Every structure is written in structure tokens, then in C-alpha cells.
A and B are shown apart, each in its own frame.
Chain A
Amino acid sequence: MDPIEFRLPHTIHRPAASAKHGPVTRTTQPIVTGTSVVAFKYKDGIMMAADCLASYGSLARFRNEKRLMAVGETTLLGVSGDMSDFQHLQHTLEGLLTQEYDMDDGQKLGTKSVYKCISNIMYNRRSKTDPLWNSYVIGGIDNGQKFLGFVDLYGTTYQSTTISTGFGGHLAQPILRRRVEGREDEITEEEAVQILEECMRVLFYRDARSLNKLRRAKVTAQGVEVSEPYALETNWDFAESIVGYGS
């Protein structure tokens, strides 16, 4: 008797493998997604922000999602893309951190090590053509030096003084390049917050998958701080003059 086979959405079926073990499944598109992460270096360390929305297509599905996470004492992780893939990685990282803690030998997993580790996971998954559908921004202070790096579902990695993922790459990155590049050792925390909020405001105005409820985070020599969610002041006066579909 032949088994009944169903074709699941977003699933690749490999006929030979399906009889015994069920279909071979892999992410071929993200489902519940987070949008941009914006990050840059400033005088005391790294600033990062992401909003609290996890969308299901065009539906604003989860509106209190945590997309910024501390990894150990000196590392900050920001994520965009598929939220379930992120939470899977989060689980892996927490395991790794526990393992490291249990060693109890005074060795700390520094930002660069966390970055290398996540990069390897991402590259290895892409090499199985079974990627984790995310872009990650990893910031921190390693051996007294500021570090800011990126890795995506292709395992592509790079370091820069300003990094933005997703829509932020188009809308926030030009602002950051103008205001931060070459000044990363001068910018005070106050100015950094102002720059960050300018970026997030632009993104909220123009990115239809964003939310005016965001978290801000920083890494300094004192460690990682992730803020509670808060909203930005916005100005919709211009909307008054728009009649019909606008122009």
C-alpha cells in the first residue's frame, strides 16, 4: 500500500527520502519575520536598535518581540529575518554559554569568538542548503576594542563601523555613513542615541513592516544594556494635506 503524501507549503520534498523518514524539509522562505537592525560604533562602545515587531507576511503578528539579546557579558546580538530560526540559534548559544560557564576556568567567550561561532553555524547551514533565514549583527568590546560584525544566511561576514540590516541597509545606512564614519571615537552617548533614533524614525515612516515600539541597546566597558520598549515621537502633519491616494 502506497503511503499518502501531502505537499506542505514552503517545503521541498525529496521523493526517495520521503518513504521512511517523511519529507526532507528546509526553510525556503521566512515565515514570521523581524525587520531592520541598526548598529554603529560610538565613543564608549556599540549602539544598536531594533523594533518589537514580528510580522506574518503583511500581518503585524507579534508586537512585543525581543530582537536584541545579550550573549555573555560583553556581546550584543541583533537579529532580522525568521524569528523561529533566531530562537533556535538563541537556544544553541545559551547551551554554549552554559558549557563555557561550567568550565569554570576564568576564560570568557569574547565577542569575536561569539561572532566566529555564529558565522560558522550560518555558513555550515548554508552549506547544507538548509539556512537559518536571518541576518545577525554582533557588537561588543573584545580585549578593550570595539567590535561590530555582520553575518547572514549565506554565511557572508563583514565588519564595519556602521551596519544596518534589511530595509535599514537602504534607509539607515546612508544616514549612518554620513554621521558616523570617521567619527566613531568622538560621538557621545547622547549624540549616538539621537543618530539611532533618527534612523529608526525614518525606518518607521517608510518601512511598512516596522513598528513604533523599539528597544535600544548598548555595549560599553561596563557591559550590555538593553532598554525596555519605547516609542519615538512622530509627526504626521503632512498627512493633513494628502487627499485621496496622495501625490
Chain B
Amino acid sequence: MFRNQYDNDATTWSPHGRIFQVEYASEAVKQGSAVVGLKSKDNVVLVAVKRSPNELASYQKKIVRIDDHMGIAMAGLTSDARVLSNYLRSEAMRSKMVYGRALPVGRAVTSIGDKAQTNTQEYGRRPYGVGLLVIGHDDTGPHLYEFNPSGVVSEYYAYSIGARSQSARTNLERNFEKFEDMPLKELIVQGLRALRDTLQQGKLLDTLNTSIGFVGKDAKMTILDGEDTQAYLDLLDEGEAMETE
């Protein structure tokens, strides 16, 4: 039933200095389909594969708008992500109301990081079962952050979370130095390439399962789904043809 006697709740340490419940929550993130985030000097992009629980069901939403300057992509328990995105949306509105400015992205992520941390230290609580990639553009430029159930937040040039995301990270590690000066369109295609590496054998990115989100210096937070992704998927295949030539 239990892996050991130290994993009954999130407030108990194991003798090896681990908190198992938090680690289990991080496992939940790995169950979710992959999302990839990457940025250039002006733009930041999210791409995600959506899953559908069965043939009759719709695809699960992966990318959510927070404000004109910010968006998130999720992997793990979608319902937990909804709670977090509602919180971020209200914080973004509050920032607009009180200071007349877009909520700084770093502060937004820290604020949900603090909420996640509380869940790992108070008795009777459950860590969030979701990981997020948060993208945004504020006075200090474009940002890409990772949020995870432990409450740790980190900033990246490019990153991926979710199922088989290691493959995407390997791809990104090989290419991220080229991202800096890339135009938005190419950046999206690069993201899709990394995302494609997370797919199981025989699976393809198509207009049904692909989701694209971006925001930048001259672009408000935009989410593309369905037919709107076709143009980018075509570019993905074009690049492919060129590479094999």
C-alpha cells in the first residue's frame, strides 16, 4: 500500500531528508502530457500536446490566458491548475487596479510558489498535483518560469515538463543558444520540434492535439488551437523536408 512509513502526509520527513508526498506530487506532473516553453530576446512561446481521455471526449485545455501579458501551460492535475490560474488572474487584475501596471511575471510565479510551499508545511494539506510553465512579458522583457508542487520556481531560456519531457529538454539544450535572435514564427517551430520529440512512436502533432501560446514585446498573449496551428505544423514539415535533403 505504502512505499514506506514516511509518506502518510506532506509534513513528515524521511530519515534521508525527503518529503515523499511532495515527490509523489511531482510524479503527477510527469503523468501529464508534455509542454515546452522557450524564449528569444523579444518573445516567449509555449507549445503543448493535448490529450483526450477517449474518442468521444474533447481535448483537455493545456494553455490558459492570465492577462494580456501573461499565460500558463500545465502538466498534471488540470483541476489544480484551474485554481492556480484563477488566483493568478485575480492577482493580475489587482495589479492593474492598484498600480496600473501589468503584474511582473516573476512576482506572479513567486506568489503561487508561496501557496505551493504552504501545502508542504501545514498539516492536513495536499500539495498541488500540477506543474506549470509560466510565460510573460513585462518591463524587464520576456520571461519563462517553471512552477512545481514543491514550491520551487526557476527561470529558464527554454524548458519542458510533463510526460517524456526529457526528450524535449535534450532537444532544447542542443538548440537554445540559437533562440535569442529568432523571429517569433521560427521560435514556435523550434518549440514544436522539441515537443514532437516527446511523442510516443507512431503519434504525430496535428491540429487536434497541438496548442500554441505566445506573448512578446509587440504581441499580446495569444493562444492558437485547431486550424490556427496548421500554418506552423506545415512549417514543421517543411523544415523536415529540408533537413533530409
Q: Do any CB atoms of chain A lie under 8 A from CB atoms of chain B in the complex?
A: yes
Contact B104–A112 (Cβ < 8 Å) = no
Contact B104–A107 (Cβ < 8 Å) = yes
Chain A: CB-nearest residue to B140 = A106
Closest 5 pairs (CB-CB, A-B): A116-B100, A113-B99, A107-B104, A113-B101, A105-B106
Specify which chain B residues have a CB less than 8 angstroms from the CB of A160 in the assembled complex. none
The CA of A34 and the CA of B192, in the complex, are separated in Å by: 63
Q: Contacts A107-B138, A107-B139, A108-B139: A117 and B107 contacting too (C-beta < 8 A)?
A: no
Question: Per-position contact with A for B142-158: 1 when CB-CB < 8 Å, else 0?
Answer: 00000000000000000
Q: What would 7 A/B residue contacts be, using CB atoms closer than 8 Å?
A: A105-B140, A107-B140, A110-B139, A112-B101, A113-B101, A116-B98, A116-B101
The CA of A71 and the CA of B176, in the complex, are separated in Å by: 40
Contact of B99 (CB < 8 Å), options: A106, A109, A143: A109
Chain B: CB-nearest residue to A106 = B140
- Taking the complex as formed, is A86 at the interface, i.e. its CB lies under 8 A from any CB of chain B? no
The CA of A64 and the CA of B127, in the complex, are separated in Å by: 58
Specify which chain A residues have a CB less than 8 angstroms from the CB of B99 in the assembled complex. 109, 113, 116-117
- Taking the complex as formed, is A159 at the interface, i.e. its CB lies under 8 A from any CB of chain B? no
Contact of A113 (CB < 8 Å), options: B100, B106, B140: B100
The CA of A28 and the CA of B139, in the complex, are separated in Å by: 41
Contact B98–A117 (Cβ < 8 Å) = yes
We find that the number of chain B residues with CB closer than 8 angstroms to chain A is 11
Question: Per-position contact with A for B123-151: 1 when CB-CB < 8 Å, else 0?
Answer: 00000000000000011100000000000
List A residues at the B interface (Cβ < 8 Å): 103, 105-110, 112-113, 115-117, 120, 143
Specify which chain B residues have a CB less than 8 angstroms from the CB of A116 in the assembled complex. 98-101
A-B CB pair tally, cutoff 8 Å:
32
Given contacts A107-B138, A112-B101, A115-B100, 15 further A-B contacts (CB under 8 A): A103-B107, A105-B104, A105-B106, A106-B140, A107-B106, A107-B107, A108-B139, A110-B101, A113-B99, A113-B100, A116-B98, A116-B99, A116-B100, A117-B98, A120-B98
The CA of A113 and the CA of B138, in the complex, are separated in Å by: 14
Question: Per-position contact with A for B94-106: 1 when CB-CB < 8 Å, else 0?
Answer: 0001111100101
The CA of A110 and the CA of B139, in the complex, are separated in Å by: 10
CB distance from A159 to the nearest CB of B (A): 12
Chain B: CB-nearest residue to A96 = B99
Specify which chain B residues have a CB less than 8 angstroms from the CB of A107 in the assembled complex. 104, 106-107, 138-140
The CA of A7 and the CA of B138, in the complex, are separated in Å by: 53
CB distance from A22 to the nearest CB of B (A): 31
The CA of A22 and the CA of B153, in the complex, are separated in Å by: 49
CB distance from A138 to the nearest CB of B (A): 12
Specify which chain B residues have a CB less than 8 angstroms from the CB of A105 in the assembled complex. 104, 106-107, 140
Specify which chain B residues have a CB less than 8 angstroms from the CB of A115 in the assembled complex. 100
Contact B106–A112 (Cβ < 8 Å) = no
Specify which chain A residues have a CB less than 8 angstroms from the CB of B138 in the assembled complex. 107
Specify which chain A residues have a CB less than 8 angstroms from the CB of B100 in the assembled complex. 112-113, 115-117
The CA of A163 and the CA of B104, in the complex, are separated in Å by: 31
Question: Per-position contact with A for B206-245: 1 when CB-CB < 8 Å, else 0?
Answer: 0000000000000000000000000000000000000000
Specify which chain A residues have a CB less than 8 angstroms from the CB of B107 in the assembled complex. 103, 105, 107
Chain B: CB-nearest residue to A110 = B101
CB distance from A107 to the nearest CB of B (A): 5
Chain B: CB-nearest residue to A143 = B139
Specify which chain B residues have a CB less than 8 angstroms from the CB of A110 in the assembled complex. 101, 139
Question: Per-position contact with A for B27-50: 1 when CB-CB < 8 Å, else 0?
Answer: 000000000000000000000000
The CA of A117 and the CA of B99, in the complex, are separated in Å by: 5
The CA of A174 and the CA of B154, in the complex, are separated in Å by: 55
Specify which chain B residues have a CB less than 8 angstroms from the CB of A106 in the assembled complex. 140
Most central of A103, A107, A143 by chain B CB within 10 Å: A107
The CA of A106 and the CA of B104, in the complex, are separated in Å by: 10
The CA of A120 and the CA of B139, in the complex, are separated in Å by: 22
Specify which chain B residues have a CB less than 8 angstroms from the CB of A112 in the assembled complex. 100-101
The CA of A33 and the CA of B149, in the complex, are separated in Å by: 55
